[in-house]
Structure 1
Amino acid sequence: MKTPGIFSAIKWTMSGLNSQVRKMDVIAENIANAERAPDENGKLYQRKMVVEEEGARVRRPEFLNQLALKLRKADKGHLPAMLESDGPLKARPGDPLKLKVVEVKGEKLVYNPGHPRADENGYVRMPNVNIVEEMVDLISSSRAYEANTTVLNAAKRMAKNALNI
């Protein structure tokens, strides 16, 4: 069995950092547009999310195969990907892991009869962005980013200590 080296930990960490930055960018955009009314053409901002691209099947980590455990995936994002020992992060052997930003369709109606875009009943169509959910997602992404930086610093420290042996 080939054991991954210190650089695989760094690759994993960099991939995690990149995905968390992308998520935080999308969350910031959602928060910035949460109170935006439809434009003159009636186009309404739609909440965005970062997800794996469709059809990206991930291979199970080697240690799970060796332990022969029967694991059920409760969520599509669980056990998301594995590193090839000498290559980039892979979703399937040969395919790079790809994330994409998708729009979540929907809207909420807010009663505001004085608004210039209000309908005949006084309701204004507003984006389907819940600020509380976005802030919770932002805190979660921020903590995941911090965890990845801790792993990166530990990997760098181990590599530095290995050079001193």
Structure 2
Amino acid sequence: MSIFEAIGIAGTGVTVNRKWMDAVSDNLANLNTASRTNEAGFRERYVVAQEAADGKGVQVGGIALGGTEGRIVYDPSHPLADADGNVKMPDIDMGTQMTNLLMAQRAYQANLAVVDRAKDAYQAALQLGKN
């Protein structure tokens, strides 16, 4: 594997992990988004990663959505409350989302470190050629 291939493969990882962080941030931003009990509420987003088409790296294969059930919360003062005073909230666990965010950040950082090390190795090889 050449240095440029390593940079390319790590770059695909950076892209997928950025998309993962985007999905987690959407989930966290909509944690308290209420909807009517008879409507579909916000659905949790998951990034589906798969092997890249050329076999070198990874790519986003799609976005999967969580269940539509949500959780019913009693809040009669909410403007979207039904006749019984209930609203539908997304069934998203903040602890799980924060864990996913940390994993995505660490993977993002690891891929950037690979790019940085490959760049350093390439620069060192250029220096050898000068001498």
Taking structure 2 as the reference length, the TM-score comes to 0.82
Q: Give the counterpart of 1:20 among 17, 22, 31.
A: 17
Q: Kindly provide the amino acid, as one letter, of the partner of residue 63 in structure 2.
A: V
Deviation string, structure 1 residues 85-140 (Cα, Å, up to 9, x no partner): xxx7367xxxxx44211211131122323323334444321112212211111111
Deviates more, 1:31-40 or 1:145-154: 31-40
Rounded to whole Å, the distance in 2 between the matches of 1:137 and 1:111 is 29
Rounded to whole Å, the distance in 2 between the matches of 1:122 and 1:136 is 33
Where does residue 67 of structure 2 map in the other structure?
105
Q: Give the counterpart of 2:114 among 142, 145, 151.
A: 151
Rounded to whole Å, the distance in 2 between the matches of 1:117 and 1:104 is 22
Rounded to whole Å, the distance in 2 between the matches of 1:116 and 1:129 is 22
Q: Which runs of 4+ in 1 moved over 4 A?
A: none
Taking structure 1 as the reference length, the TM-score comes to 0.66
Rounded to whole Å, the distance in 2 between the matches of 1:163 and 1:37 is 58
Preserved CA contact (<8 Å) 2:37 2:82:
no
Q: Which runs of 5+ in 1 are unaligned?
A: 53-79, 92-96
Give aligned-pair identity as a percent: 29
Map 1:2-151; keep pairs closer than 5 Å. 4-38=1-35, 42-52=39-49, 81=51, 89=56, 97-106=59-68, 107-151=70-114
Relative to structure 1, the CA distance from residue 40 to residue 82 in structure 2 (aligned partners, 3 Å threshold; closer, same or farther) is: closer
Greater helix fraction, Structure 1 or Structure 2: 2
For residue 152 of structure 1, report the CA deviation from its aligned partner: 0.8
Relative to structure 1, the CA distance from residue 83 to residue 11 in structure 2 (aligned partners, 3 Å threshold; closer, same or farther) is: farther
